[in-house]
Amino acid sequence: MPRVLSLSTLYPNSAQPRFGTFVARSLEALQRETEWDATVLNPIGVPPLALGAYRARAEAAVAGVEHGVAVHRPTFRLLPGVGGRFNPAAIAREAIPLARRLHREARFDLVDAQFFYPDGPAAMRVAKALGLPLSIKARGADIHYWGAKPYARAAMLEAGKAATGLLAVCEALAGDMQAMGLPRDKIAVHYTGLDRDRFRPLDHTRLRPRLAEELDLPLAFAEPLLVSVGALIARKGQELMIRALPGLPGARLLLVGKGPDEAMLRALAMELGVAERVHFLGLLDHDMLPLVLSACDAMVLPSASEGLANAWVEALACGTPLVITDVGGARELVTDSLAGVLVARETQAVREGIERVLAEPRDRQAVAATVERFGWNANARALAAHYDRLLEAAG
């Protein structure tokens, strides 16, 4: 049985149970559906004085077997706000001794990074220490955000050139990686997966009364209901949605996610007189999210950048069309009007896109069929085939 050591700063833990769940689902499916055995190194950054949320993260740095996958959580010294350039080396310092011990106990065949920065440069050091081939996956923000910082870009290019193979979550991101200077012949596209038992069209007509009760929301049956799933940060564009609401009489907006922009967004909704129609739901349980998506008429996410957002795929799988910007792999999902519309990143365009989707009711099963190729089993088999190719190339 071939074995992969996967380094991922994106991974759920007891302090952040929804953080990087897509990485966990992918590796769990790899373990379950293929011959590959996965072990995870999930480094957790802790500052010298761990208070508040950092204290909870430090307490979450425990090892165990989670859903069939062995997970180890070394901590590394984090300098919040200023330590980005130092994180790969700090992670490697803690990860390499642990990786060597695990490698002695049961040899690995491959080292894998699930995010390009800081994971990629750190995993490069681990792979060199173990003398193993390396795979690095890009997801979007790692290329677009970190790639814009000279120190991170240089480290990513070094790691990418040292890697045996690279992955991108969509064709568009593969092109961005090539434009950044990464070797295109090393890059394969690896689409996200999807829990098809959970994310599917549910009974649209009966969901609103249930959600009104469970989430304490004043939902009416006939009013337009919009949802946005994503961290409350400027890049995701929730401000544009709230600014569009005054021109969408009766529409109600559900914001799923948390982030530093929440106070600003609440104040903006109050200033525009739409606060009673904007509802902040926070981080929903994964069993509640499909209910919310299925109950809504459109999923709106005017992001400045994305790879191929899991929220896009999950919304479509629930039969809910998209109003999103033309970023990342958007055109790989929205191939016709059935899946929704692509809009410019400005208030009027977002409002007009929402109006277009609301004016054209769609068969929810047909919308869900647009993402029928996505699934964690297919994701796992594609990942295993990628790993197999790298072992063959490495000899």
CATH code of residue 318: 3.40.50.2000
Find, among 113, 114, 156, 109, the residue nearest to 133 by Cα.
109
Find, among 354, 104, 388, 113, the residue nearest to 250 by Cα.
354
Q: Are 210 and 216 in contact (CB under 8 A)?
A: no
Low-confidence residues of the chain: pLDDT under 50: none
Q: Is residue 198 a part of any domain in this protein?
A: no
Whether 268 and 339 map to the same domain: the answer is yes
Structural domain count, the chain: 2
Whether 208 and 334 map to the same domain: the answer is yes
Q: Is residue 257 a part of any domain in this protein?
A: yes
Whether 321 and 246 map to the same domain: the answer is yes
Quick one: DSSP state of residue 19?
Answer: T
Whether 283 and 134 map to the same domain: the answer is no
Whether 60 and 148 map to the same domain: the answer is yes
Structure confidence at residue 205 (pLDDT): 72
Structure confidence at residue 63 (pLDDT): 96
Whether 162 and 292 map to the same domain: the answer is no
Q: Is residue 165 a part of any domain in this protein?
A: yes
Contacts of 104 by beta carbon, 8 Å cutoff, 6+ apart: none
Whether 92 and 226 map to the same domain: the answer is no
* Pairing outcome for strands 64-66 and 69-72: antiparallel
Structure confidence at residue 287 (pLDDT): 86
Q: Is residue 199 a part of any domain in this protein?
A: no
Structure confidence at residue 157 (pLDDT): 98
Burial zone of 101 (CB within 10 Å; 0-12 exposed, 13-18 middle, 19+ buried) = exposed
User: What pTM was computed for the model?
Assistant: 0.90
Helices (H), the chain: 21-33, 53-59, 87-105, 119-130, 141-144, 150-162, 171-180, 204-214, 238-244, 262-271, 289-295, 310-317, 330-333, 347-359, 364-369, 376-394
Whether 159 and 291 map to the same domain: the answer is no
Whether 128 and 237 map to the same domain: the answer is no
Chain position carrying tokens 């999930």: 42
Structure confidence at residue 134 (pLDDT): 98
Structure confidence at residue 18 (pLDDT): 87
CA dist 33 and 187 (Å) reads 23
Contacts of 68 by beta carbon, 8 Å cutoff, 6+ apart: 28, 31, 32
Whether 173 and 25 map to the same domain: the answer is yes
- Domain housing 32: 3-193+375-394
Q: Is residue 264 a part of any domain in this protein?
A: yes
Whether 360 and 380 map to the same domain: the answer is no
Structure confidence at residue 370 (pLDDT): 96
Whether 352 and 381 map to the same domain: the answer is no
Q: Is residue 175 a part of any domain in this protein?
A: yes
Q: Is residue 80 a part of any domain in this protein?
A: yes
Q: Is residue 155 a part of any domain in this protein?
A: yes
